Chain A
Amino acid sequence: MIERAGYLPGVAANDIAWQTLRFGGNENPIEIAVPELSDHQMQSMAATVRTASRKLKARPTQQIVESIDRTVARLLDRSEPIRQKAEDLLPRVTGYDAEMVRLGLTGYLKTFRKPELQKFLAEDFANPMMLDDFQPMPKGGLARAFGPDILAHIWAGNVPGLPIWSLVSGLLVKAGNIGKVPSAEPLFAGWFAQLLAKTEPEIADCLAVVWWQGGDTAREAALLREADVVLAYGGNDALAAIRGRVPITTRYLPYGHKVSFGMVSKSALNSRKVTATAHQAAYDVVRYDQQGCYSPHVFFVQRGGKISPKEFCQYVAHELAAFEKKYPRRSLSVSEAGAIAAWRHQEEIKSFGEGGRQILSDATGAWSVVYSEDSEDLAPSGLNRTIKIVAVDELADVAPRIAPYRKFLQTVGISAPPDELYALGALLGQEGITRISALGHMTAPEAGWHHDGRFNLLDLITITEIEGSAEKAADAFARYAD
């Protein structure tokens, strides 16, 4: 079977050149046709999106919220054909376990229902009505927020559904959106666009989903020329390259790869609580096989509890083994397996000189837990269910060990009592951590989360102010002026 990716308003379907991407290996092959637009097609599509985005700006934000809500409701409905297609195809394209994808999609899509969308708005705007009309400002005068006519999204990676975050953000600020899907998961963004178009035909032209082969700078340039704001995900090299090609007058919002970790207080390490704590920790490791920027690479575990950090390793290993039965890890490429092997060897070599180090893993290499007594710095794991547990005397001691890496830090999952949580929050925030969640929730950020500490919506808009002087001066010219 062939599935077509993308969504291309304003381009005649017959004129499009399609490329084929192959997934699923030999057992479960699937072909996906992805569109490759000419410069001319990109221009005409951008014109369509721009016109639609102007119309969108006249639409009350609440109506847009309801449009997204209705679309998301359909995606949450397991009898919806596109939802069924997603449940069938995404595991085959990405290799992730089908049940993990299904549960992950539902949990993720729930963050885009109406009440959650209101949270997105409330997080960023004291008065969300400024997206609809001029609103009074505390300093005097009036202000209105305008989303870009064209917001370009360059997505990366294979975590299903990720593009929806920025697409929804764009729609909420009434932007026209053109997104480029990655070859690793080219489908979901297009499905969302198709379903939105079907559910809400009046705003059908406000978004487009395209593809090009990574590194095709000519096609990328065609989009960058049209964009008012560019939002890109990816590795730092790729992001730096794009920055060099974005016109200086265009706002550029790069989201680079990040490292996250967990912390477990000794209060969470007694015989009553340890099983749940280990389960949550393992869950964060298993979800999407640590491919998320919010996925943990290390757990810093406090000494002095009823259960020692070393014993905690056994609990986590046990949970990882159980998860492997329930949600098996996707099959890995040779490079990915090689990366795990290299990481494990590295740890093994360190263990020669160090009695406290221990490596637990299963025979097939489906998961690995490394335990270290050493005061280790933060460092990425081998990914794909490989985790290091580092014993520490005080969780606060971790702060200086992460300080050198502040540019790459994101989430910390914490199991600790309230006073420790707040004290750690202050310390970690200073070192560049932008999100603290409960253990077990690291991979499911709340609706309205400030991604990498920034504003989902405010970063996209410009404000137009009518200053007090203009208001006052206008009065003098009114028909009813005295």
Chain B
Amino acid sequence: MTQDEIIRELLDFIAADDAAESAFDRLALEIFAYQFKHNEPLRKFCLQRGRTPRTAKSWRDIPAVPINAFKELTLSCCAREDAERVFMTSGTTMGGLRGKSHHPNLAVYDASMTTHFKQRFMPDRDRIDMGILFPDEDVMPNSSLAHYLALALEHFGTDDSRNEMGKSGIDFDALFGWLERAETTGVPYALLGASYSFVPLLDEMKRRDVRFALPAGSRMFDTGGFKGQSRDISADDFYTQLSDSFGVPRRWCINMYGMTELSTQFYDNGNEVCPSVKSGPHWIRSRVINPLTGEDVPRGDVGVLTHCDLAHFNIVSTILTEDAGVEVDGGFLLLGRADGEEAKGCSMAVEEFLKAANVAATG
């Protein structure tokens, strides 16, 4: 298949209501064969695992590429210079190496985002007044989240929607103005951003002693969590604070789980209970595996998440994350990172060593 054929087929697949396992398998294997042919590092990886498109009978047989590989290898079927857009990870680990995802164009990415966002965040309306708490695409052209939020703003925001994150952080006065306006007019409002963007906002609200009671239909959106940030808040505390500070029920505080190494995102149906159940649309499927054997763990056991995202067609559709999870009815629970735990003894672990070595090199 050619790139154009795959894109066409994917757009149809995404636009369909649902997909049977067999339909998913068929397209997954076609895309695997396409990637195997056009993506040399992936081919080497699969051969080392003893897998080729010939021996893969189901999406479950496709070797999952660890996300660290995105940092070391250029995993792209199209030539790098033909990529319209390259999304990169933030590079907080591995000495600043950044994982890259090349997209020949964003048609599939955008269709994946808008279709699923509509289903999960905007099931009841077409547009909403939006405030975005994240730098925009001009500031962060390689951030998939910046693009994602720009899509939200463009396709689902009203004319009164805007990005509230300036060069020097959130414009609190302007934002509070919009929130007050929503309170008085009774028009629902949505606030979207990285989880850690909400921390300075909540701090500032505490400092000024302000709270809002946003009208019914208002909603909150956060993504990314707090790992590695200056402050670690439990999810439960975070949603309690969010709900109390803005008057939005926890059912409408929605968390998105996504990553640069995917073109499709997962959502929960609110955070009345933490950890919430996450699920994706019909063009992504997930497994919970033992990372050492690659086998599925017994249902209900904790393992590492792998995702097969058809929309990530140009790069690698089946990835092995570093996220621990457990399969439950209707999706999975996300239980945080599955590595970087401190060693049990006094032996140094890789993460600690890299960190210490970096400090030694720079300090």
Contacts and interface: CB of A to CB of B under 8 A. Distances in A.
Residue from B45, B302, B339, B347 whose CB has the most chain A CB atoms within 10 Å: B347
B66 interface: yes
A435 to B, nearest CB: 13
Nearest to B336: A335
Interface stretch (B8-16, B67-75, B84-92, B220-228): B67-75
A236 interface: yes
A448 to B, nearest CB: 19
Given A334-B304, A407-B356, A339 B350 contact: yes
A348 B68 CA distance: 11
Contacts of A404: 357, 360-361
A338 B345 contact: no
Residue from A94, A259, A341 whose CB has the most chain B CB atoms within 10 Å: A341
A159 B345 CA distance: 6
Nearest to A363: B293
A257 B303 contact: no
B347 A292 contact: yes
A233 B339 CA distance: 22
Contact of A158 (B293, B344, B361): B344
A236 B349 CA distance: 11
Contact of A291 (B66, B302, B340, B346): B346
Contacts of A334: 291, 302-304, 324, 338
B274 interface: no
B345 A380 contact: no
Q: Contact residue range for chain B?
A: 35 or more
Contacts of B290: 337
Interface string A374-410: 0000011111000000000000000000001101100
B154 interface: no
A288 interface: yes
A403 B3 CA distance: 49
Interface in B318-353: 320, 322, 324, 337-350, 352-353
Contacts of B217: none
Nearest to A234: B346
B338 A236 contact: no
A340 interface: yes
A256 B349 CA distance: 12
A364 B346 contact: no
Q: Contact residue range for chain A?
A: 35 or more
Interface in A179-208: 184
A446 to B, nearest CB: 18
Contact of B48 (A259, A260, A348, A408): A348
A467 interface: no
A338 B69 contact: no
Residue from B292, B339, B353, B357 whose CB has the most chain A CB atoms within 10 Å: B292
B37 interface: no
A379 B339 CA distance: 17
A468 interface: no
B41 interface: yes
Contact of B69 (A159, A349, A383): A349
A233 B68 contact: no
B349 A383 contact: yes
B109 to A, nearest CB: 25
Given A339-B349, A352-B44, A365-B293, A236 B344 contact: no
A291 B291 contact: no
B259 to A, nearest CB: 15
Interface string A331-368: 01111111111110110111110000000000111000
B324 A380 contact: no
A342 B344 contact: no
Contacts of B348: 257-259, 293, 380, 408
A381 to B, nearest CB: 8
A157 B346 contact: yes
A280 interface: no
Given A334-B324, A338-B324, A407-B356, A157 B45 contact: no
Contact of B346 (A159, A340, A345, A352): A159
A72 interface: no
Contact of A293 (B73, B345, B350): B345
Nearest to A361: B292
A255 interface: yes
Contacts of A364: 292-293
Contacts of A81: none
B360 A380 contact: no
A236 B352 contact: yes
A159 B346 CA distance: 9
B350 A337 contact: no
A345 B292 contact: no
B64 to A, nearest CB: 10
Nearest to B321: A338
Nearest to B49: A348
Contact of A348 (B45, B302, B346, B357): B45
A335 B68 CA distance: 16
B347 A338 contact: no
B293 to A, nearest CB: 6
A352 B73 contact: yes
B280 to A, nearest CB: 21
B353 A379 contact: yes
Given A259-B353, A352-B44, A404-B361, A335 B340 contact: yes
A379 B292 contact: no
A424 B274 CA distance: 56
A349 B346 contact: no
A253 to B, nearest CB: 14
A257 B346 contact: yes
B322 A342 contact: yes
B41 A233 contact: no
A34 to B, nearest CB: 17
Given A335-B324, A342-B339, A350 B72 contact: yes
Contacts of A290: 345, 347
Contact of B338 (A162, A338, A350, A379): A338
Nearest to A344: B292
Interface string A65-82: 000000000000000000
A93 B291 CA distance: 24
A403 B68 CA distance: 27
A338 B322 contact: yes
A106 B268 CA distance: 53
Contacts of B293: 363-365
A456 interface: no
A351 B48 contact: yes
A291 B347 contact: yes
Contacts of A277: none
The 4 tightest CB contacts between A and B, nearest first, are A291-B345, A365-B292, A341-B291, A338-B338
9 contacts: A94-B344, A157-B344, A259-B348, A334-B303, A334-B338, A341-B66, A345-B68, A380-B350, A408-B357
Given A259-B347, A290-B345, A336-B341, 5 more contacts: A335-B337, A335-B339, A349-B45, A352-B41, A405-B353
